Amino acid sequence: MRIRQSLGVLLGLVAVLVVAESAVSLLSPAVDPATGGAELSRFFTAAQLARADGYRDPGRWIAIAALMVNFALLGAVVAGRPRRLRFELAIAIRRPILGGALVGAALFASLVLALTPFSLLAHQRAANAAIATDSLGGWARDRSIALALQALGGGIAGAILVVLQRRFGERWWIGATVATVAFATLITWVQPVLITPLFGNEARLGDPRARQAVLELADRADVAVDDVFVLDASRRSRTLNAYVSGIGASRRVVLYDNLVEGLDRRELRAVVAHELGHVKGNDLWRGIAYIALVAPFGLAFLARALRPLLAGRRLAPGTAAAVAPSLAAILALAGCVEITSNRLSRAVEARADQVALELTGDPAGLVRVQVALARRNLSDLDPPGWYQALFATHPSPIERIDAAISSDPKAAASEAGPSG
């Protein structure tokens, strides 16, 4: 019987991953293939390549180790038989919703705490490489905020799970699907106004010429951008970055202050045009659509797979005691599905680069900005193929440079020479 159940779980997992891959294929924008044949030595010196490899190679294995620990902990919670405190049991019996919230908060917070040593190691390596600029105290503050936010999210998830399992029984996954999509939409909407301010300060872009250039690009892209914001990222890091945040009334383009101060006008236009490409492609909504397509299949699979597991441990669905293995299983499945969503993310980023080329007509500018970003951020210039396919959310720097060269080899040729 156990073999049959295990085989059924494995087949169900494969089916969910197939659905996720199908969703990626459906939602991925069309991207022109790169044929530029770019080589790293054309843009980076041997010393720059060695420094980037020396920083990123160990970083990949640290990230993989953290991922393995995360999955091991989730597996232990799903399959193990942890001791329960009497206080927890009392709450679970008398107030199941409150008990579910406490168990969910404890699970999410425990995962953050377990992965904190890896985060600390990554911070120290970034500081040693002159990338991170914040103190250990600043890192600890940010980590504490992340811990509180995760605990809050876990508490909400635990309480909702108890309510849904008690109200809908074996069909709890239907309500969970609606809740998941609604929560993803809500978080995307409120992030710029409620979450980002906890970690940094945003201010409207003050340079009137730069602001006007951004709004002109937005008009050319035919997208509505009311304003552009600058994030005080320099107090934490020397990295250069920009992003689109929020949906609806909260949507905005955000530039790191390092980026505004560290790039020339052509490079800044290339970065802004890329972010406007995300706006034009409705990429945040694309991500929500991916969740809406995959969540019902994943949660339906888990509802069926958890039934014999909970019964074998004498845990009744809809109780606080069943929250920990149920939420752990959901998180583990989400981690597996994330591999497929990374492919969607890479396609979206590649398409935003193409939009940037169309808006600026400046492939050399895009090459310049990719080189500048890679040098400043010590980017993983040419990661192993397996790592790029499984974990990367963006095309590698050399892939992005290659795409820019492919659009106009002659125009981009001027940016071929490496510099120190």
**Where is mean pLDDT largest: 107-111, 307-311, 378-382, 409-413?**
107-111
The confidence band for 268, taking pLDDT boundaries of 50, 70 and 90, is confident
Contact 130, 351 (CB under 8 A): no
Which uninterrupted H or E stretch holds 159?
helix 136-168
- pLDDT tens profile 182-213: 999 999 999 988 999 999 888 888 878 778 87
The confidence band for 418, taking pLDDT boundaries of 50, 70 and 90, is low
For the chain, give the mean pLDDT.
Answer: 88
Which amino acid is it at 192?
P
The SS3 assignment for 165 reads: helix
What average pLDDT score do residues 347-363 get?
93
The SS3 assignment for 350 reads: helix
Contact 181, 288 (CB under 8 A): yes
Residue 326 vs residue 87, higher pLDDT: 326
Token readout for 293 is: 């397509």
Residue 420 vs residue 145, higher pLDDT: 145
Residue 416 vs residue 362, higher pLDDT: 362
Please give the Cα distance from 110 to 106 (Å, whole number).
Answer: 6
Please give the Cα distance from 293 to 9 (Å, whole number).
Answer: 20
- Bridge partners (DSSP) of residue 231 are 202, 256
pLDDT of residue 85 exceeding 80, the answer is: no
Buried b (16+ CB within 10 A) or exposed e, 242-256: bebbbbeeebbbbbb
Token readout for 178 is: 């609606």
- pLDDT tens profile 359-385: 999 999 899 999 999 998 999 988 999
- pLDDT tens profile 134-174: 999 999 999 999 999 999 999 999 999 999 999 999 999 99
User: Domain ranges in the chain?
Assistant: 2-415
Token readout for 380 is: 């993983």
The SS3 assignment for 239 reads: coil
What average pLDDT score do residues 372-401 get?
92
pLDDT of residue 86 exceeding 50, the answer is: no
CA nearest 285: which of 161, 411, 160, 185? Answer: 185
pLDDT of residue 223 exceeding 90, the answer is: no
Token readout for 400 is: 């992005």
- Compute the CA torsion angle 80, 81, 84, 90 (nearest 10 deg): 110
